[in-house]
Structure 1
Amino acid sequence: MGIMEVEKVIIVEGRSDKKQIEMLIKEPVEILCTNGTISLAKLDELVDTLYDKDVYVLVDADEAGEKLRKQFRKEFPQAEHLYIDKSYREVATAPKQHLASVLLGADIDVYTEYLR
């Protein structure tokens, strides 16, 4: 997993989440997928490679997402947690406008057409 020379990294659960937010973001941001779960060894490896980056955790508003969020809070306390509205449940199916405003709220540059 080669991390480009970018300042911001967003951690999501799956590839569909990644695809959904990738199209909204205007600046260079690395988007990493955990594929729903992450081992402690993999998490430690991530922490080592991301220590000098702005890290955002954007996971589903469900039990699996909360479990992952809890793991990141413990192992990577400096990560910023972004939340989608619970009514949408999944990042992949949340409206683009909602996701764009969540990202913009975290100071991530998004294409303005998604904010309408």
Structure 2
Amino acid sequence: MSIQEKKVIIVEGRTDKDKVAKLLDEDVEIVCTNGTINVERLENLIEVFDMDYRDVFILVDEDNAGKKLRKQLSKELPHAVHIYIDKSYREVAATPESALAVALVSSQIMINPIYL
């Protein structure tokens, strides 16, 4: 599989990355922004991970910081697919594995069936 065939999921933090990685049943690159980022750093991530030419998914928290980051990422990556968690969980890391698995599957990301 070439790098351009590999999907990219953008998350906010390390705990989000670890939780998502645990559920996956395909080779996906997970990129952490570590919260809101400036335009220069975002452009660098886009270039380093070749995001203009890959399937990109945005999975961030449903809080103010996450919404701000989602808006920022949308501007720079208009082709990205947005994955949403239920607002009641607020954070990706606090979302039950089964609910997170359903959200990922709905975006055609392969999940280990034990989480569904």
Same fold? TM cut 0.5: yes
Output aligned runs, 1:74-113, within 5 Å.
74-113=75-114
Aligned equivalent of 1:51 = 52
With normalisation by structure 2, the TM-score equals: 0.92
Rounded Cα–Cα distance in structure 2 between residues aligned with 1:18 and 1:100: 13
Question: Structure 1: which 4+ aligned runs deviate by more than 6 Å?
Answer: none
Deviations 1:16-72 (A, max 9, x none): 000111000010000000001211011112333211110000000000000000001
Shift of 1:86: 0.1
SS of residue paired to 1:87? coil
Aligned equivalent of 2:29 = 30
Q: Which region of structure 1 is more displaced relative to structure 2, 48-57 or 12-21?
A: 48-57
Structure 1 portions without partners, runs of 5+: none
Structure 2 portions without partners, runs of 5+: none
With normalisation by structure 1, the TM-score equals: 0.92
Rounded Cα–Cα distance in structure 1 between residues aligned with 2:75 and 2:54: 17
Rounded Cα–Cα distance in structure 1 between residues aligned with 2:74 and 2:11: 14
Rounded Cα–Cα distance in structure 2 between residues aligned with 1:27 and 1:84: 20
Rounded Cα–Cα distance in structure 2 between residues aligned with 1:66 and 1:20: 20
Q: Which region of structure 1 is more displaced relative to structure 2, 65-74 or 43-52?
A: 43-52
Identity of aligned residues (%): 52
Q: Which region of structure 1 is more displaced relative to structure 2, 16-25 or 47-56?
A: 47-56
Output aligned runs, 1:1-16, within 5 Å.
5=3, 6-16=5-15
